Structure 1
Amino acid sequence: MSERLQNKTAMITGAGSGIGSAIARLFTREGASLALLDLHTEATAALAAQMQQQYGQRCIACAADVTQPQSVQRAVQQTLAALGHIDILINCAGVNVFRDPLALEEEEWQRCMETNLKGPYNLIRSVLPGMLARRYGNIVNVASVHGHKIIPGAFPYPVAKHGLIGLTRSLGVEYAAQGIRVNSISPGLIMTPAAEAWLASCPDPHAERARQADLLPCKRIGEPDEVAYTALFLATDEARFINASDIVIDGGRSQVYHE
């Protein structure tokens, strides 16, 4: 453990599984105190207790619906009461919504936009006052390659992720002179529980996994830890001159022309 986040406090949304859980584990190994936010606290409470016992860092679990400002504010107040301040915010909570544009229901549109775009904004609005008062804060939004390239059949998810990258750039510039950095990372296909479930739903899961891996220049699918290490770098002072930027983590796939 190199303790790159020693004496730092981080709040992570969507921390119950997948990329959010990988970020949480890495951050606590690197010395951070953590607030783990998720809709359901069973998994996050177990993870917080495990990490606190293993690494001796303070870890708490908070139930929060990122689409609801009051729920977010309660979680922020709970975090401040337990941990004192928030240095780092990782917006990882998200939901996949892929529909035909003409068949898309209003509820599905709202669910996609409120979770993937409004949710991060709700968290940022809640932590910014404290960060501005201390003139220090690192915010990392988990966007997607869908925020850069359009994949047919994925609407309206790319709309929200394009918006999240725009939010990142806009707020990064807005608060740069006040000690706040806002960046995003854009994972491609990462072997999360959601990706595993999607592959399992395919007629031939093994063949589809092999097909997806073959699309990548490195010929393998990414792992949550590989996204977590990029989030770690952006959250540290090592990246202090990186702001309003997005880093694509897709094994080079988006740079290759596909027929």
Structure 2
Amino acid sequence: MSERLKQKRALITGAGSGIGSAIATLFAREEADVALLDISSDNTEKLAAQIQTQYQRRALACVADVTRPEQVQRAVGAAEQALGGIDILVNCAGINVFRDALELSQEDWQRCMDVNLQGPYNLIRSVLPGMLGREYGNIVNIASVHGHKIIPGAFPYPVAKHGLIGLTRSLGVEYASRGIRINSISPGLIMTPAAEAWLASCPDPEAERRRQQEILPCRRAGEPDEVAYTALFLASDEARFINATDIVIDGGRSQVYHE
């Protein structure tokens, strides 16, 4: 344990599974107190209890739909009261919406934009006043390689992720002189429960798994912990001169031409 986040207080959305859960666990291991926000408390309550027992850190399970500003404000208020403030926000909550543009319903379009773009904005607006009051805050948005490269058949998800990277850069510049840093991470194929579910839905899951691995230069998919360590670096004071920047974590895939 290196205590890279000692005396820091972090709020992580989408903390119930996958990348969000890995980030929350790693942050607690590095001495942060954590608020675990998800749309349900089923997994976050168990994770909070585990963190309290294993790492002796304050851990709070919060329930909120990130698309509902009033729910977000209540959850952030509860986290600030329980932890004494929020120094770090990680926006990890997100959903995959992949549709043909002509078949996409207005509801699916709006849900994609609400969760993947409006949701992070709702959280940022809620934590910013406290951060600005202390003139200190680190925000990490989990974007996607879809925000850099277009993969056919993935619309409208890339639209939201392009927007999230733009939000990161714009607000990162806007508040830089007031002690706030805002960065993003763009993961490629990471073996989260959502990725496993997608592979399981394929006609030949093992063949698709092999195909995905073969087009990666490192010949393997990423793990949630590998994203978590990048979030840890960006959220720590080690990265104090990194702002309004996106880091791609995809094993080098986006640098290679494919047929």
1:203 shift after superposition: 1.2
Per-residue CA shift, 1:80-117, capped at 9, x if unaligned? 11000100000000000000000000000010000000
Establish whether residue 41 from structure 1 lines up as the match of residue 32 from structure 2: no
Q: Which residue of 2 aligns with 1:178?
A: 178
3-state SS, counterpart of residue 60 of structure 1: strand
2: CA distance, partners of 1:204 / 1:59: 41
1: CA distance, partners of 2:167 / 2:55: 34
1: CA distance, partners of 2:21 / 2:80: 21
Per-residue CA shift, 1:123-173, capped at 9, x if unaligned? 000000000000000000000000000000000000000000000000000
1: CA distance, partners of 2:42 / 2:203: 32
1:42 shift after superposition: 1.3
Q: Which residue of 1 aligns with 2:249?
A: 249
Between the two proteins, the alignment pairs up a number of residues equal to: 259
RMSD of Structure 2 on Structure 1 (CA)? 0.4
Q: Which residue of 2 aligns with 1:86?
A: 86
Amino acid at match of 1:95: I
Q: Which residue of 1 aligns with 2:101?
A: 101
Q: Write the mapping of 1:128-143 to structure 2, written as runs, cut at 5 A.
A: 128-143=128-143
Amino acid at match of 2:205: P
1: CA distance, partners of 2:229 / 2:80: 26
2: CA distance, partners of 1:246 / 1:121: 17
3-state SS, counterpart of residue 97 of structure 2: coil
Unaligned runs of 5+ in 2: none
3-state SS, counterpart of residue 138 of structure 2: strand
Q: Write the mapping of 1:1-259 to structure 2, written as runs, cut at 5 A.
A: 1-259=1-259
2: CA distance, partners of 1:174 / 1:25: 30
2: CA distance, partners of 1:80 / 1:172: 22
1: CA distance, partners of 2:59 / 2:216: 37
1: CA distance, partners of 2:218 / 2:110: 36
> What is the percentage of aligned positions where both structures have the same residue?
78
3-state SS, counterpart of residue 89 of structure 2: strand
3-state SS, counterpart of residue 72 of structure 2: helix
1: CA distance, partners of 2:104 / 2:150: 17
Per-residue CA shift, 1:167-217, capped at 9, x if unaligned? 000000000000000000000000000000011111111111011000000
Runs of 4+ in structure 1 over 2 Å off: none
3-state SS, counterpart of residue 217 of structure 1: coil
2: CA distance, partners of 1:258 / 1:74: 46
Amino acid at match of 2:70: Q
Unaligned runs of 5+ in 1: none
3-state SS, counterpart of residue 42 of structure 1: coil
2: CA distance, partners of 1:99 / 1:205: 21
1: CA distance, partners of 2:205 / 2:110: 31
